[in-house]
A and B are shown apart, each in its own frame.
Chain A
Amino acid sequence: MAEQRRWYAGMLSTEDWWSVWIGLFFVLLGLLAAATSVDLTGWIVKFPKWVDISKSFAASHKGLMSPVSSLVVSYVLFSVVTGIGAKCMKWDLTKYLIAWSIIFWLTVIFYIIGQNGYICATSLDRKKFGIDYSLSLGGACYIIALFAGLFIGNFTPKRFRDFLKGAAKPEWFIKVAIVCLGTKLGLKAIEAQGFAVHLVLTGCCATIAAYLLFWPLAYAVARKGFKLTREWAACMASAVSICGVSAAIATGGAIRARPIVPVMISSLVVVFAVFQLIVLPIAFNAVWTNEPIAAGASLGLTVKTDGADAAAGAILDELMRSKMAAQGVHWDEGWILASSIMTKIWIDMFIGIWAFVLAVVWVYYIERRPGETVPKSEIWFRFPKFVLGYFVAWFLVMGLGLADMIPFEGLEFGMKPIEGSMRKLFFMLTFTSIGIVTDFRELAKEGLGRLAAAKAVAYLVIVLPIGIFIGWLFHHGMMPPTAP
């Protein structure tokens, strides 16, 4: 902690900050379009449900350009923007751009396949498409991208998958998508202000309660039950109870664990998150459709990476809305996803505070380093910056709309391509990337068994049941607004 850092350290060199810059750049572009009625965002490619392949992708704003032009322009501009970020973060730009291109075009293919009407059309969509049957698999595109990514990450030649990992950045992509999601909540809050505020407050309360229970119980299980040493137990407790990779790394820094500790735990986190992402939305959809917001919030408390949580929320949103649509109930899109993101956002915000608390406990009580102090600035350095982008995007759109500075129709015109088409594309990139970076061989490594067992027990016995209970306790009875 002795090393002095400026408050703005890392602004141009971390994924976290670059998700803010990229997200806010497009948000501002959308606001400019909203204010001037100049179509600055309509070029972003969207992938609607289709039965005619020629209609499988198009520009967000009809008639602005041809579908192929929209796809190419989207590829070029997103490549340029993320490439600038990669360059500033001192990644190998050529390698990044080649790997990014492969991931982008693979993702486009997975997206198109997953949006096929026979796979994902609901009973209502069938009439529109003139088809007799469909699997009604909401969120199929995400699952396809995930499994295809897992295949690449586990079965393709090592050189190829290692190369792709240069641009497979699920945490970065999802953080950009979450900043874009802030604009969606801003638009929704204009229409349903009270509900959005309730969601924020209940999410905060649920997170505080969960935080204080998850960590100490997981730590005690790791120490007492599995006899792990303090540095392993503390990092594992943070990973399983707070927010996976970033929490493990923040805790490792706070207690001065050796770098190998959070790294090994992070590899387990990623593998576990894939199981959480696949199993929990399907399980919740099967038994918990009567409490959609509680189910979404519980995902935020129990899925342990940002990417996997947002991905699971998106799947649950699609699954539950499809299921209810078949019963004639049409929930507005995105509220279940928003509830899962909201609890996760609060969890992320508290990482800084918790890392600070652990640093104080370790320095002053456990390792007793004479003369050493823990600066309060550590809270800021641990704070996840993409959360700032999320709230700025949200409050900007909501503020301008509620103050009537930009009419709602104008905001929809400028922001829809950002909060819809771009956000979903980055979600898809996240799914593909999660698959690519997940290496199931990690579980087979000798020595990780005890750690994996401790993590599994802590998760199944503590985090999952308490997370579901707290999600229900603070959100039960809340239902998404119905679609207009």
Chain B
Amino acid sequence: MRDEDKTKEQLLEELTALRKELAEMGEQKPKTKQVDLKEASDEAEDPWLPVETKLVVVSVTSGVVALVVLAILVHMFLLGGH
């Protein structure tokens, strides 16, 4: 089964088991309460790319256009009846 098909509980169980295994191998102590998220904010390794700007701009622009067009259509053909 692929990771994305697993439930949260299954993933957590696997994670706990892996940590225990590593700890037993003497490579790492299991972390029970602490979650290391320092890497989550490591901007130097993950700089903002032009494609991200493109993704955000294209999506927001499409969203605004969709909002206006669909709102007009809904008001013309649907909400007028209520």
Contacts and interface: CB of A to CB of B under 8 A. Distances in A.
Given A223-B52, A448-B35, A15 B7 contact: yes
B35 A447 contact: yes
Given A209-B66, A213-B67, A228 B40 contact: yes
B8 A266 contact: yes
Q: What bracket does the count of chain B residues touching chain A fall in?
A: 35 or more
Contacts, number: 140
Interface in B41-69: 41-43, 45-46, 48-49, 51-52, 55-57, 59-60, 62-64, 66-67
B74 A447 contact: no
A155 interface: no
Contacts of B41: 226-229, 450
A330 interface: no
B12 interface: yes
A333 B49 CA distance: 50
A474 B62 CA distance: 17
A205 interface: yes
B55 A474 contact: no
A316 to B, nearest CB: 19
**Of A264, A451, A476, which is in contact with the most chain B CB atoms at under 10 Å from its CB?**
A264
B71 A473 contact: yes
A220 interface: yes
A366 B49 contact: yes
A446 B14 CA distance: 21
Contacts of A407: none
Nearest to B50: A365
A165 B43 contact: no
Nearest to A171: B7
| Max chain A C-beta neighbours (<10 A), residue from B33, B37, B74 | B37
Interface in A238-293: 245, 249-250, 252-254, 259-260, 262-264, 266-267
B64 to A, nearest CB: 7
Interface string A205-244: 1001111110111011001101111101000000000000
A208 B68 CA distance: 11
B38 to A, nearest CB: 7
A14 B60 CA distance: 34
B39 A229 contact: yes
B9 A224 contact: no
A227 B40 CA distance: 8
A134 interface: no
Given A213-B64, A253-B3, A361-B55, A450 B79 contact: no
A229 B33 CA distance: 22
A376 interface: no
A210 B62 CA distance: 11
Nearest to B38: A447
A208 B35 contact: no
B2 A208 contact: no
Interface string B2-24: 11111111011011000000000
A52 interface: no
B19 to A, nearest CB: 10
Nearest to A445: B35
A209 B56 contact: no
A446 B43 contact: no
Interface stretch (A111-119, A177-185, A194-202, A412-420): A194-202
Instruction: Label chain A's interface by main secondary structure.
Output: helix
B36 interface: yes
A445 B35 CA distance: 7
B11 to A, nearest CB: 5
Contacts of A10: 5
A233 B46 CA distance: 11
A381 B5 CA distance: 9
A478 interface: yes
Contacts of B60: 212-213, 216-217
Given A361-B51, A366-B49, A473-B71, A445 B34 contact: yes
Contacts of A259: 3, 6, 11, 14-15
B81 interface: yes
B51 A229 contact: no
Contacts of B25: none
Contacts of A392: none
Most buried by A among B3, B4, B60: B4
Contacts of A267: 8
Contacts of A375: none
27 contacts: A198-B78, A198-B82, A209-B71, A210-B63, A215-B59, A216-B59, A217-B56, A219-B52, A223-B48, A226-B41, A227-B43, A229-B42, A230-B46, A250-B4, A253-B2, A253-B4, A259-B11, A262-B4, A262-B11, A264-B35, A264-B37, A381-B5, A445-B33, A447-B38, A474-B70, A474-B71, A476-B79
Q: Which 3 pairs show the lowest CB-CB distances between chains A and B?
A: A253-B4, A212-B63, A447-B37
Given A249-B8, A361-B55, 20 more contacts: A13-B1, A194-B81, A201-B74, A209-B63, A209-B71, A212-B63, A213-B63, A216-B55, A216-B63, A219-B52, A223-B48, A224-B48, A227-B41, A230-B46, A259-B3, A259-B14, A259-B15, A445-B34, A446-B35, A447-B36
